[in-house]
Amino acid sequence: MRVIIAFATLNLIACSSTFAVQQVNTKVLGAYTMFAPSTTEAPNIYARVVIEGVLTDVSQCPSLTFGKTTIPMKLRDQRPNPKHFPVTVCEAKIKPNTAYTISDSTFTLAPVTLNPEQVAVFGDTGCKSSVCENNTAAEPFKTLAEQGAKQQPQLLLHMGDFNYRGTGGAISGDTYAYDAGDGGYGGASCGLNDTYYSQNAINSPKPDTWANWQADFFAATSQLSATAPWIFARGNHELCSRAGIGWFYFFGPGANLPDAIEQQKCPAQGDYNQPPKSASAHIIVQNSYTINLKPLSIWVMDSANACDASAENGLTKVYQQQYQRLNVRSELLKAKPMWIMSHRPIWGVEDPTTKDTLNVMLQTALKNTRQGKLPEHVTFSLAGHMHIYQSSTFATSTERPPQIVVGNSGVSLSDTNSFSEFDYTLDSQDAIVNEQGKFGFLSIKLGKDGAWQGEFLDENGAEFLTCSSETTDNQAVCRAK
């Protein structure tokens, strides 16, 4: 089995200047900032701008300005096939606490703080083609994003699954793209050792495209993305067999910029007419990384390939190694609390009546570490993947942090049930679980010493759940309003 994981760093390249850069008329289609891992303790902050057309020279990129200073942007490497992505991403490393304007456009970027107090969390935000017509902006995600912007967040977290319109599953007829076992496909190996079908294979009738990314994410978030930096998790809809091409180009944490980790892209996806006999050489797992902020650290794990219902393939070892590195990293940062964010929940209740839980692979990988559990400094776990809101609150004696699934930010809900709460034995530990089938996002106010208060808000900005880091053994992390 061949699994590609990022480790290397690239050469440093200067990115700021006090002189003007020659500009060519370009149309800016989207702009955002994001936190990314660094070769130093401080995180990198990137500004990225999506430009219409396929630019071939760095002078065609817009520039960023603050005061009298101009920062030239550079062309992002690893551009996808221009036939499917007739756009270009320009990027630059930027400073905290500085507002930027983007030349020849109406786009602006708010100052980025390393000491955020207000956080907005979204997950599973795209729109199925059966729900949203043509290339209209994803709803209700666009409305939720607009409500999120009103909260004046200083940090945006996305739990993965951005692009549904372009990743319906079936590529053609009854041929389905590799999806790491989601939905039961692939048997014991979760598709890893089966014939590999990819939307992005040569001759595929349904490749990943800019049009779907633009409709499902960028058209919905222009206002929100101007307010604060993102941290992006990668969902199974962003597997290389689905919309991974766009994800690594737009949101991948690597770059050819100062102190950056290596930029990755999807491996070759084979030929659709003669598909590979195994997925192993055609998938990629982004190495986990930490964003070290002043009030807390956030550990980001790429769980896109983690099988929900089985641990019977070699990727379990990959995730075990990542959890082991988390323990090492936590020891270095034990003076502050740590949150983890991953698309697939470690502990999710799929059906309380059948005792089905998610995610078996992550649960097994964690138990197989030397410690057998998350570090005590991990105080909160965030996930998506399940198309509802769900929280799991464990007894203090289990030493497990509370987990909240934010999978209700736009895509069609898996159910529309009202709030319910029940006791459940989840991966051998007793927990209070509650859930609700209602669209929303999580708004969090950070306090002192890792404490926080939160609320789920709906399309009208109305609160329907309250959440708190302060719980007892008889109290769930989130409660009905």
pLDDT at 6: 40
Please check whether residue 109 is in contact with residue 31, taking contact to mean a CB–CB distance below 8 angstroms. yes
- Residue 379 placed within a domain: yes
pLDDT at 15: 35
- Residue 437 placed within a domain: yes
- Residue 364 placed within a domain: yes
Residues 99 and 152: their CA atoms lie apart, in Å, by 15
pLDDT at 9: 30
- Residue 460 placed within a domain: yes
Which ranges of the chain have pLDDT less than 50? 1-2, 4-24
Q: Please enumerate in sequence order all residues whose Cβ is within 8 A of that of 418, keeping only pairs 6 or more positions apart, or say none.
A: 436, 437
| Structural domain harbouring 320 | 108-480
CATH code of the domain containing 447: 3.60.21.10
Question: pTM for this structure?
Answer: 0.94
- Residue 118 placed within a domain: yes
Cβ count near 392 (within 10 Å)? 29
Q: Locate all alpha helices (DSSP H) within 251-403, ordered by sequence.
A: 315-332, 360-367
pLDDT at 5: 43
- Residue 70 placed within a domain: no
- Residue 252 placed within a domain: yes
Please check whether residue 333 is in contact with residue 297, taking contact to mean a CB–CB distance below 8 angstroms. yes
N-term to C-term CA, the chain: 49
- Considering its fold, how many domains does the chain have in total? 1
Cα–Cα separations (whole angstroms), residue 378 to 316, 326, 420, 434: 21, 10, 27, 21
pLDDT at 421: 96
Question: Which residue carries 């641990």 as its tokens?
Answer: 311
Torsion of CA 112, 114, 120, 125, to 10 degrees: 70
Residues 237 and 229: their CA atoms lie apart, in Å, by 22
Q: Please enumerate in sequence order all residues whose Cβ is within 8 A of that of 398, keeping only pairs 6 or more positions apart, or say none.
A: 429, 430, 431
pLDDT at 332: 78
Residues 235 and 221: their CA atoms lie apart, in Å, by 18
Please check whether residue 401 is in contact with residue 392, taking contact to mean a CB–CB distance below 8 angstroms. no
Q: Please enumerate in sequence order all residues whose Cβ is within 8 A of that of 130, keeping only pairs 6 or more positions apart, or say none.
A: none
Please check whether residue 454 is in contact with residue 467, taking contact to mean a CB–CB distance below 8 angstroms. yes
Q: Which of 380, 344, 413, 343 lies closest to 158 in space, CA to CA?
A: 343
- Residue 73 placed within a domain: no
Residue 380: helix, strand or coil by DSSP?
strand
Relative orientation angle of helices 315-332 and 360-367, to the nearest 10 degrees: 60
pLDDT at 471: 85
